[in-house]
Amino acid sequence: MVKLCTPAIIYLIFSFTQILIDTFKGLYNTAMVKIIVMVMVTYLLQILCDRGLNIVSWIIVFVPFILMTVIVTMILYIFGLDAATGMAKYKCKDSKYNTINIDKQGNINIYDPYYNSKHDPVYFKYPNIVVPKPPPHPIVYQEKPMPQPIPQPIPQPMLPPQNYSSSPMFQ
């Protein structure tokens, strides 16, 4: 029986769990490659432990989990998602007016004081509900058109005179 150190055992358990999941999903090639990688990394972790580098072995085991936590937290924050429900947070703390609300039925209500239903009606086009782009609000600054450049004449290449030749024979 091979005696494995704790980081190697933890890595072995996590890898074996992934291999079982891949096998049940029918991803046999992926499972085979993961078995090979699992054996190699477990052996590497055991060598590190045998040489007294237990801390390095622990770091190799836990860095992926730490990175996953940091990356997931950043993505949830950037996209404004609630970590518990996975739904978008509709409340805007910086806005004077909170224009997006969710009613009791779960409908998303967006308040736009400049919306004109006669000018831009909402319509249903299977499978979507289409809300036309509203005209720009008077408060919103519109982009100024870029000035058109004045066309410049295209410079003609410098040609040698017609009666001139660089050959001494023709001079």
For residue 124, give the 3-state DSSP assignment: strand
Give the Å distances, CA to CA, from 58 to 35, 65, 74.
20, 11, 24
Per-residue pLDDT, 13: 93
Residue with token string 């009613």:
103
φ, ψ of residue 85 in degrees (nearest 5): -105, -25
Contact 134, 114 (CB under 8 A): yes
Q: What is the pLDDT of residues 16-51, one digit of tens each?
A: 998 999 899 888 888 888 899 889 999 999 999 999
Average pLDDT on 51-55 reads 93
What six digits make up the tokens of 125? 């086009």
Per-residue pLDDT, 16: 92
For residue 83, give the 3-state DSSP assignment: coil
Please tell me the distance from the alpha carbon of residue 47 to that of residue 41, in angstroms, as a whole number.
10
Q: What is the pLDDT of residues 120-159, one digit of tens each?
A: 677 666 666 666 666 665 555 456 676 777 777 777 776 6
DSSP class of 81: B
Please provide the average confidence, as pLDDT, over all residues in the chain: 75
Per-residue pLDDT, 10: 92
Per-residue pLDDT, 88: 65
**Torsion sign over Cα 28, 32, 34, 35:** positive
Residue 73: which H helix or E strand, with range? helix 54-79
Residue 91 clears pLDDT 80, i.e. is over it: no
Task: Please report, for the chain, the start and end positions of each structural domain, with discontinuous segments joined by +.
Answer: 6-79
**pTM higher than 0.75 for the full model?**
no
Confidence of residue 98 (pLDDT cuts 50, 70, 90): low
Average pLDDT on 151-169 reads 68
Residue with token string 């410098």:
158
